[in-house]
Amino acid sequence: MPRDHPDWIIERRRELGGRIADLRTAAHHTQESFCEVTGISRRTLQRIESGEADPRYSDLLRIAAVLDIRVSVLTD
């Protein structure tokens, strides 16, 4: 995967990370507790929420399942 993404991709990745962080906190999860129930490492979650990393589809499925939402809520 290229390291130099266009600005619009970087912005969408930040939006996704922010949405995940907002939904996680609204569900009263700390990063630590969320990682325990999703099986995602804390460093990976930190990188996703800050917009530094593209989450795997399997990570999005796990996040959505714990939050009891559809993946499309995260990505739209």
Could you read off the pLDDT of 6-40 as tens digits, one per residue?
999 999 999 999 999 999 999 999 999 999 999 99
pLDDT of residue 3 exceeding 70, the answer is no
Sequence-distant (≥ 6) Cβ neighbours of residue 53 within 8 angstroms: 13, 44, 47
Please give the pLDDT value at position 40: 97
Total residues belonging to the chain? 76
Q: Which residue has the tokens 């499309």?
A: 72
Q: Please, which pLDDT band fits residue 1 given cuts at 50, 70 and 90?
A: very low
Full-model pTM: 0.91
Classified as helix, coil or strand, 3 is: coil
Residue pLDDT, tens place only, 38-50: 999 999 999 999 9
